[in-house]
Amino acid sequence: MSKIVIALGGNALQADPKDISAESQRVTAQRTAKPIVDLIEEGHQVIIAHGNGPQVGQIVATYEGAAAVNPKLPVMPFPECGAMSQGYIGYHLQQAIREEMRKRGIEKHIASVVTQVVVDKNDPGFKNPTKPVGSFYTEEEAKKLMEEKGYVMKEDAGRGYRRVVASPEPIDVVEAPIVKTLVDAGHIVITVGGGGVPVIDEGNGVLKGVPAVIDKDLASEKIAEILDADYLIILTAVEKVAINFNTPQQKELDQMTIEEALKYIDEGHFAPGSMLPKVKAAIKFAGSKPGRKTLITSLEKAKEGIEGKTGTMIVP
């Protein structure tokens, strides 16, 4: 059977965007576990990656709120908040998947690995931070944070000012050898959560965490390459990728070659921050080695997608 890296989108962790409670995530994780275990039951080797947008924002905002009430309390650095979100989300996923496997009589172990992902300190993303994180502030508060902490603050859709951080490209996964050892031993691994904790190499092998957000689809693609996976499955809210989305000319795609996908990107068919990074990650993986394919589909259709019955397959 196949070695598959599954990249879970936000809807696989929080069914209701307005409810970001731990209980809501736990219940959603139980639903998410079922189609994942379907693939495990088929005999596939499964590695799981996931986003962390709402969760890391909630963690950052909590520390910021506490520091606003008591200035003596330190604000938790952003890399540490990312690591916290990996543990929090991984805990819910591994519990839910373990329980679903237990119900089906599947005896496998599952573990979450707090994962560091190496980025280039000279990545262009650091020169133009764009990813908003944490709380909203007034213009006066934002200026104070910029002066005192060196944050980059930007106005966010008329709702106030927020801190923005860079979104650099992933270069390598520090814990990849550990992940590979676990996968080769037949275990299920949750890794590169939220795109991984971004770190830069300061020389002599010394790694330093940096305030940044790595796109989880690109991080999933990187670990899929390293592990020599057969498939990268990018799960999202829709069953198939579409061009002319949300217009009378909308057309859902069963398959795209890399050449066709690049053409559609040039024509502006895929929204930045939504389908565009998924398609870019899909292109990168499908073109990385002969025989590799990327499937973009919804969580519920993952098994059918692997069987070629639905979803959008990106092929060389």
Residues acting as catalytic residues: 10-11, 131, 216, 278
Q: Which of 113, 81, 114, 89 is nearest to 14 (CA)?
A: 89
Consecutive H or E run containing 295? strand 293-298
Strands 188-190 and 110-112: parallel
The number of beta carbons lying within 10 Å of the beta carbon of residue 102 is 12
* C-alpha to C-alpha distance for 267 and 89, rounded to whole angstroms: 36
CA distances, 99 to each of 29, 32, 192, 253 (Å): 11, 12, 22, 35
Query: Letter for the amino acid at 205?
Result: G
Cα separation of 197 and 164, whole Å?
A: 16
Helices and strands of the chain, counted as H and E runs: 9, 17
CA 12, 13, 18, 23 torsion: positive or negative? positive
- Residue 102: both structure tokens together: 């237990």
Residues 6 or more apart whose CB falls under 8 angstroms from that of 126 comprise 166, 168, 212
Query: Cα separation of 279 and 272, whole Å?
Result: 10
What are the φ/ψ torsions at residue 137 (nearest 5 degrees)?
-130, 160
**In whole angstroms, what is the distance from residue 195 CA to residue 281 CA?**
12
Residue 185: other Cβ atoms inside 10 A? 9
Q: What angle (nearest 5°) sits at the alpha carbon of residue 38, between those of residues 37 and 39?
A: 85
Cα 162 to Cα 153: distance, rounded to the nearest angstrom: 5
